[in-house]
Amino acid sequence: MSLNHKEQHMTTTANTDVLTGLAEILEEVAGTPADKVVVEATFEELEVDSLTMVEVVVACEERFGVRIPDEALEGLRTVGDAVTLIGAAQ
């Protein structure tokens, strides 16, 4: 899955809400400090592996009322990618 980087880093109110929510979820599920959850951060840097990612996605689905299929996780590298993915699913 390829993402348009301009689009990915576009800051909107909705995206900010998603980012805040994602940071809270990452803190709860993976113990990631909220200040490290910025759009440029990769999940590898945040030490979020593929299994933790599944738990994060399940929590996001509940919180944002979206459905994210497993296939959509394949190209997911950065926090920005995840924010765009969730935003698009909303």
Question: Contact residues for other proteins (CB under 8 A)?
Answer: 49-51, 54-55, 57-58, 70, 73
Nearer to other proteins, 18 or 68 (CB): 68
Backbone torsions φ then ψ of 87, nearest 5 degrees: -60, -40
Chain centroid to Cα 42, Å, comes to 10
Closest contact distance (angstroms) between CB of 2 and other proteins is: 20
Nearer to other proteins, 35 or 74 (CB): 74
Return the closest-CA partner of residue 50 out of 87, 77, 81, 88. 77
Nearer to other proteins, 28 or 40 (CB): 28
